[in-house]
Amino acid sequence: MPIDHTQPYDDSNIFARILRGELPNKTVLETEHSLAFHDINPLAPIHVLVIPKGAYVSWDDFSARASDAELADFSRAIGEVARQVGASAQGYRLLANAGKRAGQEVPHLHVHVFGGQPLGPMLAR
Ligand code: 5GP
């Protein structure tokens, strides 16, 4: 069920539970401020989620409230993941859904890293 990204952060969401160690994940990369793990329901041969460890709902929330250190760490973590999983060499796509109209289901900022196959048009019309 898509979420309303203008609501305050809800720390019962699934990614908050992963960050607290309450749920398992297949970790690709962990840094001081970010965690990357394989999506549970991959939509491409490479489908990794990168999340900040801080409590942010969306990109606009993160960019408004995160420290420079968190912003830099998250940005670098996404690039590092793309290189580590072999997406960078082949071409890849980054996607961050925000809010109901974009179909965001988990109310904790996450960037999808897709790769491993031709990715088709940017949006379905
Ligand atoms: P959204 O639609 O919010 O942009 O994407 C949420 C993503 O989280 C989906 O691709 C979904 O498969 C993934 N996801 C949901 N629950 C879990 C989980 O418990 N573990 C992992 N690794 N991925 C999850």
What would the pLDDT profile of 77-106 be if each residue is shown by its tens digit? Answer: 999 999 999 999 999 999 999 999 999 999
Ligand 1 mean position, distance from CA 5 (Å):
16
List the chain domain ranges: 32-115
Q: Which long-range contacts does 117-123 make (Cβ < 8 Å, 24+ apart)?
A: 117/44, 117/45, 119/44, 119/91, 119/92, 119/93
**What pLDDT is recorded for position 1?**
79
40 within ligand 1 shell (Cβ under 6 A): yes
Residues of the chain with pLDDT under 70: none
97 within ligand 1 shell (Cβ under 6 A): yes
Q: Which residues are catalytic?
A: 110
**What pLDDT is recorded for position 75?**
98
Q: Which fold has domain 32-115?
A: HIT family, subunit A (3.30.428)
106 within ligand 1 shell (Cβ under 6 A): yes
Ligand 1 mean position, distance from CA 70 (Å):
22
**What pLDDT is recorded for position 6?**
82
Atom of ligand 1 nearest to the CA of 112: 4
**What pLDDT is recorded for position 38?**
98
